């Protein structure tokens, strides 16, 4: 093969030949290597018996881009600039013109199955044989065109997709926090359709604009977004923007984001809104000679045909509005003159400068998986920031536990790194302090406090922090900590949890109790028999040496065994809180092997 994959391979030839069996496909130009895109391209004409020729003609021309690794890699369909679709539909990228020297538009259509995003976790009918895969994509493209003509690309019960609003090469990312809760409590009851935003710019590496406050025209706060410690500590500057509310997504039929201000004005009119008037209502606040962000909000459902559940914001960057002596010809430099000039500025073929928006609400970010609400809404204390404590802390934060306190006085040593979540830059520093810094970078709403001290030496302020907690998790395997927790005045009932591992972390010991103090006598009595088993298992075993000099043994356990123990412990705790959180439980898990092969971890004792 020539450099760059420019020679046709046998599998490409097989894929191309299979297309000639499709009666509704005409190959206009055979496979050709595009050096700019580093893809194979084929130009074709697709024919359907269109039910709406004005919307979707019977014949449309396309450029198909094929990965050089075919039959693997992407296969994408783009409308040709000559004879191709000019509108944007659902399940399609915004169909605008791109580089002048390319013969296709930007509107790649989605021909993959509805289960494509789940990968191997769900069945996909797409074949990967060279003689079948390209043909399959062409058949799906024909099917897509028929649905587009019939208006059936989306159906009742399909998941709702926000229109694709095209951005420039370096868009600003605006981050907001909206949920079902904010929609029900705020936006379902708001009686105004425009107002002021307070945004904050964040320092690198985040470098985004975060929506902090949303206010009405009287500067009355409608919504204040709560962010975590890391986001709040990264605030650099505050800026002002504006917002406007619409009844539904701002599109031109069938599903195209407006490209110009004329199109945007027309799209707003279909909802009975004058977007320039809405901007004019708040323009006094932003006449400072700089550009400002405008958020256009609209309610969206979870699925097509369902009631709206959440507000979505789409951002655009306004041009510099009239100010100082810049007013309409024949008008004084006052608000009337400014608005007359703005109406001309925001019109015609001037492009809309769309920006990127992301919803960082915890419901949105954690949709891939989180612990139960009983656990995520709890304030948790982790005592011990060693291997097990650091792993459980990270799992809790990634599982959407927002409020965490870490208690540990120890310094991180190089030997800890083989089974700890911290790194080389943290060696010689307090584990609790470094772990807090690490955890705060995981999610934008995490709030983590550290107490870099032994439990028995903490001051009154730190004792109050402990009393605020709902769940206390001890990961120290230290009897002194157990006794201290038993004598500490917690100020009410807490859910106590002791988590420890046996020799080589082959067994995991879990104790859970809801009491006013840790029931150390009950716990130690339950552990007695199992400690004897651990001693028997260790009999004759030589413990690894932790460094030279005075002999100091290190507890042997591999990092994968510790992660297994940490995740098992939290699964058990999470289920306990959902089902029987008032009962005292003692559980022992053990790694299972058959024929010297690892087979998993099993609950071998529960009381």
pTM, full prediction: 0.90
The enclosing H or E element of 242 equals strand 235-245
CB atoms within 10 A of CB 469: 20
Range of the domain at 144: 10-150
Give how many domains the chain has, as a whole number. Answer: 3
In a domain, 157, yes or no: no
34 and 116 share one domain: yes
146 and 189 share one domain: no
Q: What residue spans of 163-217 are helical by DSSP H?
A: 180-182
pLDDT band at 551 (very low <50, low <70, confident <90, very high): very low
In a domain, 156, yes or no: no
The enclosing H or E element of 606 equals strand 597-606
3-state secondary structure string, 8-65?
Answer: CCHHHHHHHHHHHHCCCEEEEEEEEEECCCCEEEEEEEEECCCCCCCCCCCEEEEEEE
Half-sphere exposure of 437 toward its Cβ, with a 13 Å CA cutoff? Answer: 11
**Given 365, 392, 408, which residue is the final one in a domain?**
365
Please tell me the distance from the alpha carbon of residue 245 to that of residue 193, in angstroms, as a whole number. Answer: 5
Summarize pLDDT for 126-176 with one digit per residue, the tens.
899 999 999 999 999 999 999 999 999 999 999 999 999 999 889 999 999
pLDDT band at 537 (very low <50, low <70, confident <90, very high): confident
SS3 566: helix
Q: Where are the beta strands (DSSP E) in 517-596?
A: 585-594
Evaluate if residue 69 carries a pLDDT over 90.
yes
Evaluate if residue 572 carries a pLDDT over 80.
yes
The candidate with the shortest Cα–Cα distance to 139, out of 9, 21, 12, is 21
Least confident of 308-317, 325-334, 416-425, 485-494: 325-334
**Given 150, 165, 200, which residue is the final one in a domain?**
150
Please tell me the distance from the alpha carbon of residue 232 to that of residue 236, in angstroms, as a whole number. Answer: 9
Evaluate if residue 527 carries a pLDDT over 70.
yes
The candidate with the shortest Cα–Cα distance to 472, out of 394, 530, 392, is 392
358 and 384 share one domain: no
* Residue 598 CB burial class (10 angstroms; 0-12, 13-18, ≥19): exposed
Please report, for the domain that includes residue 14, its CATH number: 3.10.110.10
Distance of CA 422 to CAs 429, 433, 561, Å? 11, 11, 17
Summarize pLDDT for 71-126 with one digit per residue, the tens.
999 999 999 999 999 999 999 999 987 767 899 999 999 987 553 444 444 446 88
96 and 193 share one domain: no
**Given 365, 381, 396, which residue is the final one in a domain?**
365
203 and 313 share one domain: yes
């Amino acid at each position: 093969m020539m450099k760059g994959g420019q020679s046709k391979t046998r599998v490409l030839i097989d894929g191309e030949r299979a297309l000639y069996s499709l009666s509704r496909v005409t190959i206009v130009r055979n496979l050709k290597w595009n050096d700019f895109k580093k893809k194979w391209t084929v130009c074709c004409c697709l024919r359907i018996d269109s039910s709406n020729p004005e919307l979707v003609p019977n014949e449309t021309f396309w450029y198909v881009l094929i990965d050089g690794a075919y039959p693997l890699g992407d296969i994408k369909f783009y409308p040709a600039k000559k004879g191709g679709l000019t509108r944007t539909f659902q399940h399609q990228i915004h169909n605008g013109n791109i580089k002048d020297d390319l013969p296709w538009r930007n509107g790649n259509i989605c021909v993959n199955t509805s289960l494509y995003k789940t990968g191997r976790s769900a069945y996909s009918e797409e074949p990967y044989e060279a003689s079948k895969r390209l043909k399959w994509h062409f058949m799906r493209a024909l099917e897509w065109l028929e649905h587009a003509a019939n208006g059936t690309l989306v159906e009742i019960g399909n998941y709702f997709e926000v229109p694709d609003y095209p951005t420039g090469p370096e868009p600003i990312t605006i981050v907001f926090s909206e949920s079902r809760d904010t929609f029900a409590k705020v936006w379902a009851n708001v009686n105004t359709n425009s107002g002021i935003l307070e945004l904050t710019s964040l320092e690198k590496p985040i470098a985004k604009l975060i929506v902090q406050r949303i206010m009405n025209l009287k500067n009355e706060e409608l919504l204040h977004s709560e962010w975590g410690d890391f986001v709040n500590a990264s605030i650099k500057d505050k800026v002002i923007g504006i917002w406007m509310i619409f009844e539904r997504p701002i599109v031109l039929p069938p599903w195209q984001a407006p490209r110009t201000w004329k199109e945007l004005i027309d799209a707003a009119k279909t909802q009975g809104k004058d977007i320039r008037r809405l901007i004019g209502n708040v323009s006094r606040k932003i006449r400072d000679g700089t550009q400002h962000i405008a958020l256009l909000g609209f309610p969206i459902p979870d699925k097509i045909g369902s009631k709206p559940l959440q507000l979505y914001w789409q951002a655009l960057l306004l041009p510099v509005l009239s100010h100082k002596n810049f007013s309409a010809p024949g008008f004084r430099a006052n608000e009337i003159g400014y608005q007359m000039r703005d109406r001309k500025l925001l019109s015609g073929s001037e492009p809309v400068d769309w920006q990127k928006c992301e919803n960082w609400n915890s419901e949105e970010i954690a949709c891939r998986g989180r612990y139960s609400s009983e656990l995520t809404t709890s304030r948790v204390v982790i005592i011990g920031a060693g291997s097990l404590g650091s792993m459980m802390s990270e799992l809790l934060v990634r599982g959407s536990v927002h409020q965490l306190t870490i208690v540990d006085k120890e310094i991180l040593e190089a030997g800890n790194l083989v089974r700890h979540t911290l790194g080389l830059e943290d060696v010689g520093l307090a584990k609790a302090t470094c772990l807090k810094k690490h955890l705060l970078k995981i999610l934008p709403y995490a709030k983590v406090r550290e107490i870099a001290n032994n439990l028995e030496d903490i001051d009154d302020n730190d004792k109050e922090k402990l009393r605020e907690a709902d769940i206390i998790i001890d990961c120290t395997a230290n009897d002194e900590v157990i006794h201290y927790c038993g004598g500490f005045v917690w100020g009410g009932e807490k859910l106590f949890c002791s988590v420890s591992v046996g020799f080589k972390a082959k067994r995991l010991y879990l104790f859970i109790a809801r009491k006013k103090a840790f029931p150390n006598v009950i716990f130690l009595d339950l552990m007695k028999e199992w400690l004897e088993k651990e001693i028997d298992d260790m009999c004759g075993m030589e413990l690894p040496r932790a460094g030279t000099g005075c002999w100091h043994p290190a507890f042997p356990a591999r990092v994968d065994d510790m992660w297994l123990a940490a995740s098992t412990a939290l699964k058990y705790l999470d289920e306990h809180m959902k089902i029987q959180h008032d009962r005292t439980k003692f559980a022992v898990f053990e790694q299972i092997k058959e024929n010297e092969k690892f087979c998993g971890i099993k609950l071998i004792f529960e009381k």
